[in-house]
A = this chain, B = another copy of it.
């Protein structure tokens, strides 16, 4: 459903905005129904429950982003309120997924470094081998304990997030959001300017969203390949990720499809976020009182590995970032 750009100059803003929002609202409601059907405790974590939750988050982000970027063409009080409530809801629903992803990521990394699969090639000299084996054994014990500790911590956090999500889904606050989205699926509250041509009303906010993204990318610190422990920079990268998403949804709305040039950089920023959060989880676990030094050691290795992945994701972002993107929407 790629829409030629010139149509946005002949259509009204309403004709572009309303179908997109209605479509996302319908998708949100579908996700919600599936989520309810599959969120019985026995179903938690099944593939269908995961799919429903993903569809729900996907639609919630798009509605929320559209309400933000194109606020001027919408009923502003309604838009601000729905956006705040969607942020609460999708935040609550996303948390469980985030803990599960983080745990999976950390256990995979631990599995790799505990040497479950020892390389087939053995060193030709026996001397090196025994030292290597000692190192591997020490790391193996620590990795197993670190894995158990992380599993305990993140499973607990996930269970709590699951309960919180179930509780949210039963709350009157939730029913109010669901009602508001159900209303949106049939009728979009617009401002009077929505009757004007889309080119006049929607292009300027879309360009602003793009410009904010470009500014955020320009404000990223220069290549820091030599220092992976610059956690203080993470927030700037996370912000660039958020702004890239807002631009992406605006682009999707106006052109009917996401900007293909931003798929790579967007994916790199997602990986960046996941690795940064996994590193922080390893670091937080290492502050557990009375853990064994071997456990702390493995968590240190894990922290460093994830920070190297953060660094690698920054590198991929820089490599895939299209400088020409500065002009895609202008």
Residues on A lying within 8 angstroms of B by beta carbon are 112-113, 115, 118-119, 121-125, 128-129, 131-132, 134-136, 138-139, 142, 221, 226-236, 238-239, 280, 283-284, 286-287, 291-305, 308
Q: How far is the CB of A139 from chain B (nearest CB, A)?
A: 7
CB distance from A203 to the nearest CB of B (A): 28
A299 to B112, CA, bound (A): 19
Set of chain B residues within 8 Å of A129, measured between Cβ atoms = 232, 235
> Which of B122, B280, B296, B297 is the one whose CB lies under 8 Å from A131?
B280
Determine if B118 and A283 form an interchain contact, defined as CB atoms under 8 angstroms apart.
Answer: no
CA distance A122 to B124 in the complex (A): 50
Chain B nearest CB from A282 CB (Å) reads 9
Contact residues in B for A235 (Cβ distance below 8 Å): 123-125, 128-129
* CB-based nearest B residue for A287: B138
Q: Which A-B residue pairs are the 10 nearest by beta carbons? A: A300-B300, A123-B235, A304-B304, A293-B296, A297-B300, A296-B296, A296-B297, A300-B301, A301-B304, A132-B231
Within 8 Å by CB of A283, from B138, B230, B292, lies B138
Task: Kindly provide the distance from the CB of A57 to the nearest chain B CB, expressed in whole angstroms.
Answer: 21
A123 touches B296 (CB 8 A): no
Q: What B residues does A113 contact at CB under 8 A? A: 229
Known: A138-B283, A283-B139. A121 touches B299 (CB 8 A): no
**B residues in contact with A236, CB < 8 Å:** 121, 123-124
Closest to A229 in B: B113
With A123-B233, A301-B304, A302-B304 given, name 8 new contacts (CB 8 A).
A119-B232, A138-B286, A142-B300, A291-B293, A293-B296, A297-B300, A300-B301, A308-B308
| CA–CA, A131 and B238, complex, Å | 15
Which of A238, A291, A296, A299 has its CB near the most chain B CB atoms (within 10 A)?
A: A296
- Given that A138-B283, A139-B229, A280-B131 are contacting pairs, would A304 and B300 also be in contact in the complex, using a CB cutoff of 8 Å? yes
Q: How far is the CA of A280 from the CA of B127 in the complex (A)?
A: 13
Measured CA separation A37–B163 after assembly (Å)? 76
Q: Which residue of B lies closest to A300 (CB)?
A: B300
Q: Give the chain B neighbours of A238 by CB distance below 8 A.
A: 128
Cross-chain contact of A119 among B135, B221, B299 (Cβ < 8 A): B221
